[in-house]
């Protein structure tokens, strides 16, 4: 089973998309519009990487964004961008920890 499939099986993870910083779609689980998600998140992650560099934060690794009902986790590793949608958003911290553990070999 792939790392993406393992992440998709985490409680409260509704979908997972893997793309790259250029916005290319690589794989999706439970996301009907994976190509669009990969394109948008590749664009967003690229600009967050640039902003982090300008601010002296170092390499971007993980970004979490949450609304009242849903959260989104974006992890950047070796040019790949993993996006996980989480419901409810209060589960975002636990999912982030599990994803970090799953991605240890991706650096």
Q: What is the CATH number of the domain that holds 79?
A: 3.30.450.30
Quick one: pLDDT at residue 107? 66
- Kindly report the average pLDDT of the chain as a whole number: 92
Q: What is the DSSP string of the chain?
A: --HHHHHHTSTTEEEEEEEETT--EEEEES-TTHHHHHHHHHHHHHHHHHHHHHHT--S--EEEEE-SS-EEEEEEETTEEEEEEESSGGGHHHHHHHHHHHTGGG-
- Determine the structural domain holding residue 97 and report its residue range: 3-106
How does residue 106 score in pLDDT terms, banded at 50, 70 and 90?
confident
Q: Give CA–CA dist 2/57, Å, rounded.
A: 31
Give the pLDDT mean for 89-95.
93
| pLDDT per residue as tens digits for the range 16-44 | 999 999 999 999 999 999 999 999 999 99
| Overall domain count for the chain | 1
Quick one: pLDDT at residue 67? 95
């Amino acid at each position: 089973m792939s790392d993406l499939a393992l992440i998709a099986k985490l409680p409260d993870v509704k979908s997972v998309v893997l793309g790259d910083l250029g916005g290319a779609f690589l794989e999706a689980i439970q996301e009907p519009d994976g190509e669009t998600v990969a394109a948008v998140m590749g664009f967003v992650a690229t600009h967050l990487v640039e902003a982090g560099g300008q601010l002296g934060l170092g390499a971007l690794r993980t970004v979490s964004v949450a609304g009242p009902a849903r959260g989104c986790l974006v992890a950047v590793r070796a040019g790949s961008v993993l996006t996980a949608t989480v419901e409810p958003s209060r589960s975002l911290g636990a999912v982030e920890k599990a994803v970090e553990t799953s991605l240890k070999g991706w650096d």
